Amino acid sequence: VQLQASGGGLVQAGGSLSLSCAASGSISSIDVMGWYRQAPGKQRELVAAITSGGRPNYADSVKERFTISRDNAKNTVYLQMNSLNAEDTAVYYCAARVRTGLFTKNDYWGQGTLVTVSS
């Protein structure tokens, strides 16, 4: 199973950016998909996650600014980021809890994509 993230880049404060992450490989189903981020000198933190049924969960720092969504048919998760500020600068990683068999479930990570917000 592989997760391929895309999007990210450089944006000015107050701007918007979108990320996407597609899972591929031997996938039976995907339970939870989400995004983490790691800023320089800080620990990796959960940004947002979404269940297979579409129920989202957000970190307090991104509520009302970020929106997570997914397309189950495409095994893809999206993150729309609005009103970005310098504190959002980080490497963003997608993650997925993938069921590859009846009794097999593992967590997978994407390669990370850099989001830089200039003030």
pLDDT tens digits, one per residue of 8-66: 999 999 999 999 999 999 898 999 999 999 999 999 999 999 999 999 999 999 999 99
Give the tens place of pLDDT for each residue, 54-85. 999 999 999 999 999 999 999 999 999 999 99
Strand blocks (E) in the chain: 2-7, 9-12, 17-24, 29-38, 45-50, 56-58, 66-71, 76-81, 90-101, 104-109, 113-118
Q: What is the chain's Cα-based Rg?
A: 14
Nearest to 59 by CA among 32, 88, 30, 85: 88
